[in-house]
Structure 1
């Protein structure tokens, strides 16, 4: 507030303070406009208002003085009337003459005061007319101020839209920066691959020559065995010719052949039994090897088709490949800028698909260890991805409530399915023509890949969001895992729940916890929030085994997987560890 010399106070906002210089420029502009409005609309009339207030004050003083004089005149008149009725002496007449003069002077004063009062009334009338004109001007200024406020509101709305546009452009710049960083990472990976390419070629040539030498040695050994077989055949023919001349001997070459054939059949049966025993799925019982695989949580695991290699994905933004037998590290696949949520090998084991929280999926070449495609198009975290029929098509599910089908030969999305809820996991059925997806809204949805239409929706099949879906050896059965701490087997022909697995010690603690089905279809397994692994009998639905005290207590099991041949079982947890079981 600023005090004027005339006593009138006008609201002025200070522009000299340090706080004024620290606010935004558009706010400074508004403050300057308000100060200018006060100068034009208020301070310009302060002198008139002061004069008017002085005149009103003077008028009140004159009225008070006039009232006093009127009372004095009235008292003098009364006194004069009393003196006229009485007889007075000459001295009294002189006193009356003096009083008459006093009255005349007072009347003159009254006359002057009345003139002043008349002039004051006239001035008041002029001031009143001036005040009316000032009121009219004030109304005009108020109307102008309203229009200015409307204009100011319009400018504010424009400023808000400009800020929204600015934020949108910032988001686009950030996205472009992320894409640029991704491209830089890919370029770095390609450069590092190029630097090691010559050494790999030399190594491959050495391995090729070694394999060629081994192949030659093998052929020589086979030729030697063939020569021994020919020698044995000739000896047998000679013995048969000799036995023909012995009449009393019951044993002949035919009996010998039959005995040899029976022995070979028995050996074949034993070998077949051994092979059958080897292909039965391993029921994990104790830890064979436990090791820290990543720098952060292990979110996903997957074997290749022959079970000789497995891949792990982590929140440290990397995918690592491991030897399935020795658990030795083979290579690290880089390029993602956020956590890896799922991994999947192609049917021919040449490529591996990894989905990430950076809203994209990546395809790496397994042999070379370098990225082949980066699939961008989702606007949310990509939680899952699977290869479809063949190795040239993949399907991904995302938090943005869409499922996308990708053509890897062309490198772009050829179909987007809107699935109405965040997709946590999916699996391809019927040789890739059908997709089953599990969602946050507790439902399982089935989609036709050719038309993109929904085939069936199993609503609220669980009481919690579905964290994983996997397929058994029987293509008509799928296994679902949920945050309601249960697993269910669903028949995709009838859409009925065949089995429900639960245990008081099993608690699903993650939205992306992955369950696993053994290759022979006998067991299902899932990791619990307390670091234990629960294994159920898939046929009876009963708990087969609960394994604890191997993973760290309190460390949630994120994923587990059986080898396609069933001889190996692995699990990963939030404490960066992978455990191989026997």
Structure 2
């Protein structure tokens, strides 16, 4: 607003300067006219003086010339005198007009001088105003530069705040997504927990039913064994003939560098699985000793290997604390069972239920696994590190002790036998 006011005042000053220039030009014109009129007046005065002198001379000549012979000359001189008088009258008239014009010119000159003085004063004032306006304009420009700098700084801060806001919005969206994902995972965990509890209840009922069936089978087997023992005693058969010890090795398999630590036949006896320090599980055809496949994936030494009762999976335990299950048909890894904190020293499948297996670890835990879903269904604690486990009865060997553990939910530990 101040800059526009200053520019308007500068424009008015330019108009005033133009008016002063016009008045000065008019004043110069009047001075030129006055000089011209003064020159004409001096010329008329000179001619008038000359005419007076001529008239005086003619009068003297007329006075002296009285003879008749000088009459024509006198008449001529009189005519010249009259002419000079008329010229003198005209000169006086012109001189009066010139005097009037000179007076008017002087008045105009005085008015022009007065106006010029006023304009000069106005010009001085305008110059002072111009200086003040220039100072104000300079201050306004400096203030404008400061305002621009402040605006640029504010714009930068605004952009930074907008970037922070966008980052905060993005982080909020990410947190919302993570929260939603956590909620979904929590719901899934709750559903899995509920499903696991339902499965545990179903498994408990199934185990109770199978336990009763096994008790019946054991009683029947005991009765049958007593009958067969009585028959042997009556006939006098040699009982030691069935416990012969092999005298030499039928087949030697060289397949593991660093030692072989486990071997297991399948239920049909036509396949043999071995494991060792080379972290590889190999399957063999025992009749010819031909290697059938190699199962890889272990990260440390394999300490035990076993076929499941239905020959679907091969299980191997390792020093890395994991148990791996491979599909026998495709030789692909099916599950990685983790839960032991230290090495797993033994793994054995259930013969009654082929979908489950038990493992013994150096962390003093026995774990029962669901092979269909690949997670632990039960953990049994021991007072020392177990060295092996046999499913169905879950035998745990601790030094010289044999522990019998019930698989019912009460986890009752039966006293050890020495």
* TM score, norm. by length of structure 2: 0.47
* Greater Rg by CA: 2
Could you say which structure has the greater relative contact order, defined with CA pairs below 8 angstroms and 6 or more residues apart?
Answer: 1
- Structure with bigger strand share is 1
- Structure with bigger helix share is 2
